[in-house]
Amino acid sequence: MNVRLSTDKIQLFSYFFIVSLMGSLLLSLPVAYKGGCKPDYVDALFTAVSAVCVTGLSTVSMGVYSNTGFFFIMLLIELGGLGIITIVALYVVIPQRKMSLVNRRVVREFFIDDVETNPRKILRSIVTFTLVTQLAAACVLYRPFKEAGFTRPFFASLFHAVSAFCNAGFSLQDESLYLFRSSPLVLWTMMVLIVSGGIGFIVVTDIWHVLTRKRGRLSFHSSVALTVTCILLVLGFLVPFLAEYTRALSPYSLPDKIMLSFFQSVTPRTAGFSVLPQTAWSPVTHLFSLIFMFIGGSSGSIAGGIKTTTFAIVVMYALKGNTELKGLNLGKRNINSELIERSFSIFAKSLMLVFFSVTLLVITESTALSAGVFRIFDVIYEVFSAFGTVGLSLGITGQLSFWGKTVIILTMFIARIGLVAMALGFFRNDRERFFEYPSARVIVG
């Protein structure tokens, strides 16, 4: 079983590696750029990995891409966004392939129910929901994009719908959605897409079953995910609304202030779009954005980060956990020790990855830091954005050195693949399955 689970992780890694590599080759073609002028390969690789990992960071201006280049990016976003979910589903729906215990375990980590009864329904539901949602949103966005002067308004609206639903953060313009900062139709549609893509297919399906009365109430997972999401959205709204009311938001009307604050609440949770330059926000808003980028979306979704349910378990166990009792009592349910251990492992390893990436980036960009071109907080913000597959930046992405770009590429890739691999389970030595070493005591705290 351990070997098979390890193989699953290798397949997941291989999928994203191959798609990223093929994407970098496509984005190295002259046809992908206006005037045939293409950037260095490291920039093409950076954009490809960013698109596949649905991050949104870019080292080159969006203005250099041709329509073909934007099509390549949109394709990579779709393949990367749905890749983690569909590759797991495809693994069990290949004809004439029996569903092993490991297969069931892997898919249950994403879908919980209906794995044994009808696995093909999982994939069909995901693809249908995704395509219908994206096309419907593109139709809604078509008119405002046409009125904004886009030469190909439907493609522009479809590109942004795909990017928003996949939480990618890529836009056809360097200014992202600044052009629509006072357009409720565009911004609220984008927020709905971002939340829909980041809440998880489990939760969306669960809500649908409750609304259609196929199920009496939400599952415990959906309840936790929705509760944490709502808390983060409200908190994320209040911080910029109060902190920026007389600062970044001062030129806008009260309805626009509310809308822009909600958007800033949604976008750091792995989406990466911006309606105002990130440099316009105050340090308080930046600090909370770091926290939201680290948490990310919900499990079983396209979003990045450590996930809302992981964050909830870690926080609740830290507040009310009892080492003398097994597990954690939460909402009249018991979270078992294995799930708590997995949550803390993801949390700790994520912190280690962020700390290691910041350290490397400080080293690679030491010249720029010493010269005052970058601030240390700019570097930290960049790493958190890459880790959470967000795409927000304080403006240093294009100025990174070759090795700085390499660090961010690896951070995006490891954060996207590594956290999923950890969520699928841990590899244990076969010997340790049958015996335990003698207990040892270490003084902590």
Closest CA relative to residue 189, chosen from 255, 244, 124, 143: 143
Query: At 361, which helix (H) or strand (E)?
Result: helix 337-364
Higher pLDDT, 94 or 414: 414
Higher pLDDT, 430 or 248: 248
Q: Whole-model pTM?
A: 0.89
Instruction: Please say whether the beta carbons of 183 and 144 come within 8 A.
Output: yes
In a domain, 441, yes or no: no
pLDDT of 50 strictly over 60: yes
The number of folded domains in the chain is 1
The chain-wide mean pLDDT, for the chain, equals 85
Reported as a single tens digit per residue, the pLDDT across 271-309 is: 889 999 999 999 999 999 999 999 998 887 778 899 999
Q: What percent of the chain has pLDDT over 70?
A: 83
In a domain, 442, yes or no: no
Mean pLDDT of 152-169: 94
Mean pLDDT of 169-182: 93
pLDDT of 367 strictly over 50: yes
Reported as a single tens digit per residue, the pLDDT across 233-253 is: 999 999 999 999 999 999 999
In a domain, 302, yes or no: yes
In a domain, 133, yes or no: yes
In a domain, 338, yes or no: yes
In a domain, 309, yes or no: yes
Residues for the chain: how many in total? 445
**Residue range(s) defining the domain that contains residue 185:** 2-433
Mean pLDDT of 60-87: 87
In a domain, 13, yes or no: yes
Handedness of CA 177, 182, 186, 188 (dihedral sign): positive
Mean pLDDT of 142-161: 95
Which residue pairs, CB below 8 angstroms and at least 24 apart, start in 226-232? 226/199, 227/312, 228/298, 228/308, 228/309, 228/311, 228/312, 229/195, 229/199, 229/298, 229/308, 232/265, 232/269, 232/292, 232/295, 232/308
Reported as a single tens digit per residue, the pLDDT across 374-427 is: 999 999 999 999 999 999 999 999 999 999 999 999 999 988 887 666 555 544
In a domain, 445, yes or no: no
